[in-house]
Structure 1
Amino acid sequence: MRHVFVAGSINMDVVATAERHPKVGETVAGEAVLYFPGGKGANQAVASAKLGIPTTLIGRLGMDAFGKELRAFLAAQGVDLTSVKTTNGTHSGTAIITIANADNTIVVVPGANGLVDARDVKAPSLMKGDVAVSQFEIPLPAITAFFRRARAVGATTILNPAPAKQADKALLELVDILVLNETELGYLTGTELRDSDDPSRFAQAARTLGQGKIVCVTLGKRGVLALVENQPLLVPGREVKAIDTTGAGDCFVGALASQLAIGKPLGDALAYANAAASICVQRMGAAPSMPTADEVAAVLSTRRPGQGRDP
């Protein structure tokens, strides 16, 4: 079994629930305020670790109460924190989230996450067969340095380009597997896409990003469309009653990384990640909602994943 290494953000999610989202300039009455460990890096690391895979998180926390709480929570989930630094003079990353009708809006204040640099990603010992994961909530030069190290030793690199922003060609060329949703795909390709579009539109857009890499487009309850050697593979989703979708994409990425680390074929890994994400959305919170391996196995035992081609 190989390791999963995640270089990314660590946040405290401050969640307000309401009956509906406010319009611009409007105030609505909320129902509750909740605090959950989160951040895309932390979420993905917890998703992998709870599935039984040795997982190391690389990142930074501030010297504040949130930082102490986050470190304690992540350690309790089995995440290796030897590469998580506590940084003087700044606060831990914080996300302000509103949830209404299972949909969310998010404002992220990076704090210590914005100080992650190339030196932070040098210490962990990556090996051939390991999986290196990152997202766009830490500075891009740090991600580039991380993936360059991973590629040099033969580790697989997975990039989740969220929140969407433009990245230079040098970074994208270091990516083996790109995992993104339809909004991020539209942003990176300059294409107007909607979640209700036919899968063929996503495949067409994804082909412009291919260039030797695997592109996985997550489509929520519709499943995931993967472009492998320019050929589409559609793995159906699983319809459930969603309560909170905040960590679903991160759950998918972490679960995918975990399965690739133990040598599962891509199609099987995608089906497994879909099942894991379907459990995640039925719970409140991001990192705390990540399922265990037993929970995912129970879901998969009741349903045989199907596959389709040529969407």
Structure 2
Amino acid sequence: MKKPRITVLGSLNMDLVTVTEKMPEQGETITGQAFSTFPGGKGANQAVAAARLGAEVYMLGKVGNDLFGSKLKEILIQENVNVNFVETATNNVTGTASIIISNHDNRIIVVPGANKEVTPEWIISHEEQIRKSDILLLQLEIPLESVKKAAQIAKKHKIPVILNPAPYQKLPHELLKDVTYLTPNEHEFRQLVEDAAKEELEIIRAKSFITKGEEGVEFLLNNEKILVNAQKVDVVDTTGAGDTFNGALAVALSENQDIKDAILFASIAGSLSVTKLGAQSGMPSLNDVIRIYEIQKM
């Protein structure tokens, strides 16, 4: 059976995580309890999720000419993600997210670095890769104009597009028209509706699969509101649950699964991802998901 061919265009970041008992005040130096680095970036996360679920995945993006960039590519290769289209920017650093965690609170500083160099012109140079895909998966951690250009190219070649509108920003009308599916969480969906022109509301509602955490996923099917319940699991770490859902959804839709079945498959994957620590490290395998999926379908 032919593997689904998924192209993920998006960000690659290294997450730098410091755990401390208290947040430092201005000008204060304190001693932290732990420091770790984790591979991240919504694009890379979603690529790993799709690859673990059996897809042939191609990552499009940029890293810096530094140790973080080399490490991120190495990790993707280990996860069976094709990195032939991950370019090294010679005059920029790899994107980073510096995260301070203290007493169940966090503060995050994101430096996009090489992710900002993923320009519309660069996207055009990779049109052939998009054309050869079964589906294109997008997020909003690269320039919005580049996301628009990728969606235009995909639509031109009749390639379905999933857009995960995160981190949230107002979407241009053309982009709303060009994408096939939107995957906002409930907060992002509320913002989409608030920012939408009157004629855009129906487009947004018809295309949106709204992830609602432990409540499940809500969407319209033949103008009827459907809710696919989330799996009951012991939550350890919710980081990367949305990215897992998106990667899994891309796999299921690439295999031409029925919409409701595709949502169930993706919802199970997202639920399983929160049972382990870390975004990419917690992502489930195809066997993990299939085992529960088949029980649910009985």
TM-score when normalising by structure 1: 0.84
Equivalent position to 2:275, from 270, 277, 282: 282
2:243 corresponds to 1:253: no
Aligned twin of 2:177: 173
Structure 2 spans left out of the alignment, 5+ residues: none
Aligned twin of 2:48: 46
**Would the aligned equivalents of 1:103 and 1:244 in 2 still touch at CA under 8 Å?**
no
CA distance in 1, matches of 2:187, 2:37: 27
Aligned twin of 1:199: none
Specify the code of the residue in structure 2 equivalent to 1:221: E
1:167 is paired with a residue whose SS is coil
**Would the aligned equivalents of 2:53 and 2:284 in 1 still touch at CA under 8 Å?**
yes
Aligned twin of 1:119: 121
| Alpha-carbon spacing, 1:22–1:101, altered in 2? closer, same or farther (3 Å) | closer
Moved more, 229-238 or 218-227: 229-238
Equivalent position to 2:207, from 205, 210, 214: 214
Aligned twin of 2:99: 97
**Would the aligned equivalents of 2:238 and 2:274 in 1 still touch at CA under 8 Å?**
yes
Aligned twin of 2:259: 266
| Alpha-carbon spacing, 1:275–1:23, altered in 2? closer, same or farther (3 Å) | farther
**Would the aligned equivalents of 1:129 and 1:261 in 2 still touch at CA under 8 Å?**
no
Specify the code of the residue in structure 1 equivalent to 2:254: A
CA distance in 2, matches of 1:8, 1:304: 32
| Alpha-carbon spacing, 1:99–1:121, altered in 2? closer, same or farther (3 Å) | same
**Would the aligned equivalents of 1:242 and 1:281 in 2 still touch at CA under 8 Å?**
yes
2:110 corresponds to 1:108: yes
Q: Compute the displacement of 1:126 (Å).
A: 3.2
**Would the aligned equivalents of 1:129 and 1:154 in 2 still touch at CA under 8 Å?**
no
Q: CA RMSD in A?
A: 2.7
CA distance in 2, matches of 1:222, 1:22: 32
| Alpha-carbon spacing, 1:14–1:229, altered in 2? closer, same or farther (3 Å) | farther
Structure with bigger helix share is 2
CA distance in 2, matches of 1:249, 1:72: 23
TM-score when normalising by structure 2: 0.88
CA distance in 2, matches of 1:116, 1:214: 26
Specify the code of the residue in structure 1 equivalent to 2:121: R
Q: Compute the displacement of 1:106 (Å).
A: 3.7
Structure 1 spans left out of the alignment, 5+ residues: 192-206, 307-311
Aligned twin of 2:296: 304
**Would the aligned equivalents of 1:7 and 1:121 in 2 still touch at CA under 8 Å?**
no
After TM superposition, list the pairs within 5 Å mapping 1:157-172 onto structure 2: 157-172=161-176
**Would the aligned equivalents of 1:215 and 1:228 in 2 still touch at CA under 8 Å?**
no
Q: Percent identity?
A: 37
Specify the code of the residue in structure 2 equivalent to 1:70: L
**Would the aligned equivalents of 2:14 and 2:39 in 1 still touch at CA under 8 Å?**
yes
